[in-house]
Amino acid sequence: GAGVSQTPSNKVTEKGKYVELRCDPISGHTALYWYRQSLGQGPEFLIYFQGTGAADDSGLPNDRFFAVRPEGSVSTLKIQRTERGDSAVYLCASSLYGTSGDNEQFFGPGTRLTVL
């Protein structure tokens, strides 16, 4: 497909479990972003990748959250020891270049994570 895809679309897990959320950006996009959208809120920045490296991970809430992008394309957001407060929609976005001021971020449909 031509857009950003995210899998799974829904994930239900139990408190304390480990989860992985996957993002496939638009082909050729070097910049990739993860956001978290809690109920009734706007998306909140988590982490930004330029290529393979995490250029800004200042939005990750704590060390249970980690993200990788080993080949500069697909990214995985990993959450250890999940808590009920982690329940949210996790959005991924990509853009063609990260350093230009006017680059549009294209968003995926999100993964809805529910922690029971």
Partner 1 sequence: AQSVTQPDIHITVSEGASLELRCNYSYGATPYLFWYVQSPGQGLQLLLKYFSGDTLVQGIKGFEAEFKRSQSSFNLRKPSVHWSDAAEYFCAVGAKTGGYQKVTFGTGTKLQVIP
Binding site residues, partner 1, CB under 8 A: 3-4, 31, 33, 35, 40-45, 48, 50, 55-56, 91, 93, 98-105, 107-110
Tell me the sheet residues that pair with 33.
48, 93
DSSP state of 72: S
Q: Quote the least distance from Cβ 67 to partner 1, whole Å.
A: 16
Q: Quote the least distance from Cβ 7 to partner 1, whole Å.
A: 14
Helix (H) or strand (E) holding 98: none
Bridge-based pairing of strands 10-13 and 111-115 is parallel
Distance, in Å, from the CA atom of 76 to the CA atom of 24, rounded to the nearest integer, reads 9
Q: Quote the least distance from Cβ 12 to partner 1, whole Å.
A: 17
| Nearer CB in complex with partner 1: 47/79 | 47
Residue appearing with tokens 């080949």: 71
| Nearer CB in complex with partner 1: 14/40 | 40
| Nearer CB in complex with partner 1: 82/91 | 91
Residue appearing with tokens 């330029």: 50
Q: Quote the least distance from Cβ 74 to partner 1, whole Å.
A: 17
| Nearer CB in complex with partner 1: 72/109 | 109
Nearest to 32 by CA among 87, 77, 79: 77
